[in-house]
A and B are shown apart, each in its own frame.
Chain A
Amino acid sequence: MSFPWANEYKPSHPFMKWMDEKLPLPRLVYNSVGSGYPVPRNLNYFWNFGILALVCLTLQIVTGIVMAMHYAANAQVAFDTVEHTMRDVNWGWLMRYAHANGASAFFVVIYIHIFRGFFYGSYKAPREMVWLLGVVIFLLMMATAFMGYVLPWGQMSFWGAKVITGLFSAIPLVGEPIQQWLLGGFAPDNAALNRFFSLHYLLPFVIVGVVILHIWALHIPGSSNPTGVEVKSESDTIPFYPYYIAKDGWAVGAFAFLFCAVLFFFPNALGHPDNYIPANPMSTPAHIVPEWYFWPFYAILRAFTQDFFFIPAKLMGVLAMFGSILVWFFLPWLDKSPVRSGTYRPMFKKFFWFGLIPAMAVLFYCGGAPAEEPFVMLSQIASLYYFAHFLIILPIVSAIEKPLPLPYSITESVLGKDEAAQLAPAQTATA
């Protein structure tokens, strides 16, 4: 499960030897994030975002557990208990702002992590399972974030819950009963709030479980790298500790700095003012919008304004919204190019930077904008490109594209010299 030249764990202290026989936990750590885990030497900063995501998940769990100590999932008092946390709980405001902005930070990090995967072909063999588990984590994150946003029981909480569970009512025949079953009533109320709280507390630990599988699956082939060329010899890799611990360490510091700048000086910039109004089933907000990290998918949902043959527009929107993420599951089999990294794929690279990225930017913008022109038309064009990109362009491009020549090895791409790369395996052989 690792490269043959990986350092071996050799406990020297008698206690560590004793421990290694009974419970080889230090060995596991050594082999997963220590000197025993060889990693490509050429990872760029996009490879720091996995660790940052783990930092965010930890932050959310810690702040969330503290907040749950002061929260009551009852529609009568939920809003007030959150305000109580903000005003009367020692450092409660810090916990709550860290949790609310932590969700945003988590999504920023995870979107960069996912787009790293898109560009560098991280989803390709032999890492399909890493990718599939990652998409599962993303879906779990979306569910967790959505339910968490309902808990303060403000106006956007209530109406967001109503709109999102209302999506299920688009399912023919059984839609309405499903919505009522999900909510435990005809509209969001105590039953919905309680189950959302229960699930919001449960799902992060499910995420932890899938994250463990994600990392486990990753450590079997080892990390990908910006060239997309697989590790060939020892000179292609360096041990995780100390090299990547040091690199991740300062990246976590930089991330924490940016996060705290938002947390302490703009804590409400990413939220919606309406959620400081207590939930009122009798008064619909002028614009119901989800949190910013759902905007692209919300834009896709609203882009379908016309019935398509016998399929109602609403159902089309719901299918497309879920489909827009489910399509990621098929990515390893849609993009058949043998070259992983976008750097060596001239056509793919153009479609990525001039197609997918602008389309996502437009979807982000339009999802937060009111449902009027020109935003609807813009999101229709962007959604059209989004589906075309993954389902039509990628399969065709990967079949007809002529990739640029790849470096022989990671070592060659780093040292630039052919001889150095050719020498490296020989050196390890003699060593």
Chain B
Amino acid sequence: MVRILSILVGLFFTVALAWSFVLGAITAATEPAPAMVEHEFHVAPKNVHFSFDGPFGKFDNQQLQRGFQVYKEVCSACHALKHVAFRDLAALGYTEAEVKAIAAGFQVPGTDPNTGEETLRPGMATDYFPSPFANDVAARAANNNAIPPDLSLITKARHHGSAYVYSLLTGYQEQPAELLKEFPDAKTPAGLHYNPYFPNLNLAMAPPLAAGQIEYGDGTKASVDQMSKDVAAFLTWAAEPKLEKRKQTGWPVLGFLLFATILGYMSYRNIWADKKH
């Protein structure tokens, strides 16, 4: 009885699935899915190497400091970094005095000690990076109706995040002629910018970097490629400041576990030596 019922229930589901399958197959055969411009022209991030790649990877503090300079002088005009505090910058090799000076260079929201009114005051080491806009409405209004995302987690919030940031910053280009030939309606709208590394190909952010735009303190030549790579490295640190500590902790942990497992295996062999199994 149980089996008869079970076969009936089984037939119910399998026939329903077969029905879905047949109709789906007919649709797939007769109406091929329309080609999508995002499918055909979106490309995966470039293959780029960073010092923090791999199990032994470490941050390059010089590079992080350069990347921070790019963020401070370019990105921070529109993008917040709200999970990062100025005190965190000590990890990049800045001294306490330098951190305080950097913080003081930013205006953060505060309260006027005399009137109690909301005001701006110079930042302190314990403050977090301030948002460039008062709220999302202000951010939209200033940026062609797009909100510049907070960058504190951007490299973890995108597939292959570090390479993605680098590719996006170096990926602006003219819309390819084949694209317009194949998809005449897909012309990049006014105010947007074509970038094949962006999921829907058209990005509200104008190309933010130009060669020689900033002057690196360490004398490195500020090409677009160099700045993109540096800021991608800095944002990777911002998204995962514990990356280096994590990898460095991993090795002794694995070493210990390997040792303990080998000992465990040997005692297992020893204990079972007289037992056939």
Chain A residues close to B by CB (< 8 Å): 41-43, 80, 83, 86-87, 93-94, 97, 238, 242-243, 246-247, 249-250, 252-254, 256-257, 260-261, 263-265, 267-268, 273-274, 276-277, 286, 303-306, 308, 311, 313, 316, 320, 323, 330, 333-334, 336, 372-374, 376-377, 380-381, 383-384, 387-388, 390-392, 395-396, 399, 414-415
Contacts and interface: CB of A to CB of B under 8 A. Distances in A.
Q: What 5 A-B pairs are tightest by C-beta distance, nearest first?
A: A391-B10, A264-B250, A253-B261, A250-B264, A276-B157
A306 B2 contact: no
Given A264-B253, A276-B153, A373 B247 contact: no
Contact of A249 (B241, B268, B275, B276): B268
Contacts of B241: 87
Contact of A264 (B2, B88, B239, B246): B246
Given A387-B13, A391-B10, A380 B264 contact: no
Contacts of B183: none
17 contacts: A86-B240, A87-B88, A94-B249, A238-B277, A243-B272, A260-B250, A264-B253, A274-B157, A276-B156, A277-B149, A277-B157, A372-B33, A373-B28, A373-B33, A380-B20, A391-B7, A414-B276
A265 to B, nearest CB: 5
Interface of B: 2-3, 6-7, 9-11, 13-21, 23-25, 28, 33, 55, 83, 88, 149, 152-153, 156-159, 161, 199, 239-242, 246-247, 249-250, 253-254, 257-258, 260-261, 264-265, 267-268, 271-272, 275-277
B17 A383 contact: yes
A277 B239 CA distance: 12
Contact of B242 (A43, A86, A263): A86
Contacts of A373: 24, 28, 33
A377 B25 contact: yes
Contacts of A254: 261
A395 B7 contact: yes
A260 B159 contact: no
For the residues of B in contact with A, the DSSP-based class is helix
Given A268-B156, A303-B17, 13 more contacts: A43-B277, A97-B246, A238-B277, A257-B257, A260-B257, A261-B250, A264-B254, A273-B157, A304-B16, A306-B16, A377-B25, A391-B13, A395-B7
Contacts of A387: 10, 13-14, 17
Nearest to A336: B3
A205 to B, nearest CB: 28
A10 to B, nearest CB: 22
Given A87-B242, A391-B10, A273 B250 contact: no
Contact of B271 (A43, A243, A392, A415): A243
For the residues of A in contact with B, the DSSP-based class is helix
Contacts, number: 168
B231 to A, nearest CB: 18
A383 B253 CA distance: 42
Contacts of A308: 15-16, 19-20
Nearest to B7: A392
Given A267-B246, A372-B33, A392-B11, A250 B265 contact: yes
A246 B24 CA distance: 54
A306 B33 contact: no
B254 A42 contact: no
Given A260-B250, A372-B33, A415-B276, A384 B9 contact: no
B65 to A, nearest CB: 19
Contacts of B7: 391-392, 395-396
A91 B165 CA distance: 28
Nearest to A316: B16
Nearest to B13: A387
A312 B10 CA distance: 18
A376 B24 contact: yes
A246 B267 contact: yes
A391 B9 contact: yes
Nearest to A154: B157
B239 to A, nearest CB: 8
A392 B19 contact: no
Contacts of B152: 83
Nearest to B199: A286
Contacts of A333: 2
Given A277-B157, A372-B33, A304 B261 contact: no
B10 A390 contact: yes
A97 B156 CA distance: 13
A286 B253 CA distance: 38
Nearest to A283: B147
A265 B250 contact: yes
A107 B244 CA distance: 28
A303 B24 CA distance: 10
A377 B3 contact: no
Nearest to B21: A380
Contacts of B13: 320, 323, 383-384, 387, 391
